[in-house]
């Protein structure tokens, strides 16, 4: 069956086409057209001027709609994966917390039972438990432990682990970078007090990713540029970025997009269970959280506890702050994520790529989300 999306503005990395059409066949993009003469199709979708972009990839998300992946509930996994479609997300990495291994096992088993009716879940992201106990943020310090590749292997046997976020300066942290790379897993540093020298030790072992950049990592300093400096100085390092204007100020968003290629910036939600929900009291990893005005903070101490951000809002924020063209910013919504994780066939709207597509209004509201050419969400 062939589907034709016509009358759209097509935005893909380094490409911005007016009045374009996209031919989809067998779940992939079969052709891109700009001429008035269009190919035959079994079904035609009139985009009526909407902007077509590659479906968003959220590589750091804990939950939505009052579910957390670490609830280890299959219904929760199904709900989160379905509701993320309303954000334009077509690929999602369920992200865990610093918890006992038994809880992580239960979480991955629930992901393995996903019904597949929402966005794609190619693997999970382990945030912790191998973090610096002095940099826990909203993670539970009671469950912090030393880097252990054998634990990762046990979890990976249940459901693919695609990324592990940990503190590279902890004992064995640099060695873990190499061990993860050998397993095909992306090592990432965060919840860390690493010096730039300690980062470089991890870099030599394959570290090329920094999770929720600027948050819970060593700041830029003129005597030791730390992890923030590492992300800015090293062009080949991919950074995750929470562009909700709370975790990162608008000025910092502008600075990072000015000095770093958008193809190495990954917009993430870092969303917790309160995403898509009203203000009120929630939990994160068993810790009480208050959500007020869209900001999620620990009830005790007031530290930011994940976010309620949605990806299309992150893109709108960055567009308003930087004024960069969409053909540049689109690199940060899926292409960078695909490159960082080695995910083939996503991140561009080109022949041969998966037909994972989001249709947006000029106000960055999601009108339709397609997964493998199938419309799975309509506003």
| 187-231 tens-digit pLDDT | 999 999 999 999 999 999 999 999 999 999 999 999 999 999 999
| pLDDT tens, residue by residue, 315-339 | 999 999 999 999 999 999 999 999 9
127 is in an annotated binding site: yes
pLDDT of residue 204: 97
From the number of C-beta atoms within 10 Å of its C-beta (0-12, 13-18, 19+), residue 257 rates as: buried
Q: How many CB atoms lie within 10 A of CB 362?
A: 9
212 annotated to a ligand binding site: yes
Question: Is pLDDT of 304 > 90?
Answer: no
Examine the residue annotation and report whether 270 is marked as an active-site residue of this protein.
yes
Query: DSSP character for 69?
Result: G
Question: Strands 295-298 and 357-360: what pairing?
Answer: unpaired
Q: How do the domains of the chain map onto residue ranges?
A: 2-53+347-378, 56-341
Q: Is 62 flagged in the annotation as binding?
A: no
Residue in the structure block whose two tokens are 């509201």:
365
Homologous superfamily of domain range 56-341:
Metal-dependent hydrolases (3.20.20.140)
Q: Please name the fold of domain 2-53+347-378.
A: Urease, subunit C; domain 1 (2.30.40)
Sign of CA dihedral 38, 40, 46, 47: negative
Bond from prior residue into 102 cis (ω within 30 degrees of 0): no
Marked catalytic residue, from 270, 313, 356, 372: 270
Digit-coded pLDDT (tens) for 50-92: 999 999 999 999 999 999 999 999 999 999 999 999 999 999 9
């Amino acid at each position: 069956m062939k589907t034709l999306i016509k009358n759209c503005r097509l935005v893909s990395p380094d490409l911005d086409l007016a009045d374009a059409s996209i031919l989809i066949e067998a779940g992939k993009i079969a052709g891109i057209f700009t001429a008035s003469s269009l190919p035959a199709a079994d079904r035609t979708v009139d985009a009526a001027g909407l902007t077509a972009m590659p479906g968003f990839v959220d590589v750091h998300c804990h939950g939505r709609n009052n579910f957390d992946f670490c609830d280890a509930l299959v219904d929760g996994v199904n709900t989160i994966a379905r509701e993320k479609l309303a954000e334009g997300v077509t690929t999602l990495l369920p992200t865990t917390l610093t918890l006992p291994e038994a809880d992580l096992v239960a979480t991955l088993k629930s992901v393995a039972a996903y019904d597949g009716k929402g966005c794609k879940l190619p693997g999970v992201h382990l945030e912790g438990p191998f973090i610096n106990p002095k940099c826990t943020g909203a993670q539970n310090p009671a469950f912090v432990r030393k880097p252990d590749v054998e634990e990762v292997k046990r979890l990976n046997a249940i459901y693919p682990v695609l990324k592990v976020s940990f503190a590279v300066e902890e004992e064995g942290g640099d060695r873990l970078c190499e061990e993860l790379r050998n397993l095909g897993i992306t090592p990432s540093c965060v919840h860390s007090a690493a010096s730039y020298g300690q980062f470089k030790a991890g870099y030599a072992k394959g570290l090329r990713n920094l999770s929720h950049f600027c948050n819970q990592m060593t700041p830029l300093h003129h005597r030791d540029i730390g992890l923030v400096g590492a992300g800015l100085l090293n062009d080949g390092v991919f950074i995750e970025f929470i562009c909700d204007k709370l975790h990162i100020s608008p000025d910092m968003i502008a600075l990072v997009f000015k000095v770093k290629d958008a193809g190495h910036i990954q917009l993430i939600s870092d969303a917790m269970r309160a995403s898509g929900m009203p203000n009120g009291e929630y939990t994160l990893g068993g810790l009480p959280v208050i959500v007020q005005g869209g900001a999620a903070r620990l009830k005790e101490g007031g530290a930011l506890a994940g976010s309620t951000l949605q990806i299309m809002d992150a893109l709108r924020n960055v567009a308003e702050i930087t004024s960069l063209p969409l053909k540049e910013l689109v690199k940060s919504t899926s292409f960078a994520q695909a490159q960082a994780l080695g995910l083939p066939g996503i991140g561009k709207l080109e022949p041969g790529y998966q037909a994972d597509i989001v249709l947006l209004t000029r106000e960055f509201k999601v009108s339709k989300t397609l997964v493998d050419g199938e419309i799975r969400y309509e506003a």
